[in-house]
Amino acid sequence: MTTESTAEVKTTRARKPPSMQRTRGDVPFAIVNYGGFLLMALLCAYPFYYLIINSISANDASALGDVRLFPQGFHLSNYQQILGLDGLTSAAIVSVARTIIGTVCTVLASAFLGFMFTQERMWARSLWYRLMIFTMYFSAGLIPMYITMKTLGLTNSFWVYIIPVIVQPFNIILVKTYVESMPRSLQEAAEIDGASTFRIFFRIILPNMTPILATVAIFTAVAQWNSFQDTLLFITDQKLYSLQYLLYTYTNQASSLAQAAQNAQGNLGSIVSAATSQTPTSIRMTVAVLVVLPIIFIYPLFQKYFVKGIMLGAVKG
């Protein structure tokens, strides 16, 4: 590099806008800022880490609260025994099915209704929109809800997991706001070409709604996967038990399950039995990991779209 080129580079660096030039206080601010974010990240991640290390540590040490930073006496027998419980496979199938089907139905309903509420030619659009908002703040209550499900024949039915939660006002509001931010010219051009409302939605609007649909999908999938109260209220058939409800019952019965597991181990050595025999604490830790682990793996796949979609209502400027 010649002397003239070096001088030009130095001149360019010197001409940086004032907003881009580092000041004396930038370095301490950056240290405090990144340090604060790192501390918050550790505080958020530690509870999950604590569950995992306790579920794979010696059960006697875990029961005494001795496992805090690193696992002690590593073993996987907790997972082998929990996964071997009766009915767990069928319950997992029910939970996966309700999560997939429920998410797809809710996302499609939210997308279409959010789109329709932006159409001025929709009959009584303001009235229907206000009625939908009304349901966010007022509900009939648990007993009328049960009577309605009973009358519709949805009790002891797989569809009780799907139909009542297809229409979610909050998700529809998110989608409506997103559609309103899209260029109106896209829809106008399709209308000039003679496209129908359904064709405009499926061919023009829906393919351009990926960020907000990913956000709605995450909300719905997490809610479907973690839900167990609908099973508690509307289901008595054990074949329709969800995984979360089954694990919920196992957690409440942790003491009796731990005693049964210890009795089933027979004449194992006392050292092995103390380290690997089930305790109420080990059952609760293992069950908690099994419930939360799928969401932890799935969330990073949608994080890019989730951040973009959730920032939709932020102030821009």
Same domain, 37 and 128: no
pLDDT value, residue 86: 75
Domain coverage including residue 43:
23-78
Give the domain-ending residue among 78, 100, 116.
78
Q: Let me know if residue 105 belongs to a domain.
A: yes
Same domain, 34 and 117: no
Burial class (CB in 10 A: 0-12, 13-18, 19+), 249: middle
pTM for this prediction: 0.75
Same domain, 30 and 101: no
Same domain, 31 and 163: no
Give the domain-ending residue among 199, 232, 252.
252
pLDDT value, residue 257: 62
Same domain, 108 and 181: yes
pLDDT value, residue 71: 84
pLDDT value, residue 289: 85
Q: Which residue from 79, 123, 97 is spatially nearest to 242, judged by alpha carbons?
A: 97
Q: Which two tokens stand for residue 195?
A: 């496209």
pLDDT, tens only, 110-147: 999 999 998 888 888 889 989 888 888 887 788 888 99
Same domain, 29 and 105: no
Same domain, 130 and 62: no
| ∠ CA 241-244-247, rounded to 5° | 95
Q: Give, for all 317 residues of the chain, the pLDDT tens digit.
A: 555 555 554 555 555 555 556 676 677 888 888 999 999 989 988 988 998 888 888 887 887 878 888 888 888 888 887 777 777 888 889 999 999 999 999 999 999 999 999 888 888 888 998 988 888 888 778 888 899 999 999 999 999 999 999 999 999 998 998 888 888 888 888 888 888 888 888 888 888 888 888 888 888 988 898 888 889 899 988 889 988 888 888 777 766 666 555 565 554 444 445 555 667 777 788 888 888 888 777 777 766 666 665 565 444 44
pLDDT value, residue 102: 93
Same domain, 179 and 44: no
* Residue count (the chain): 317
Structural domain count of the chain: 2
Same domain, 234 and 126: yes
CATH number at residue 188: 1.10.3720.10
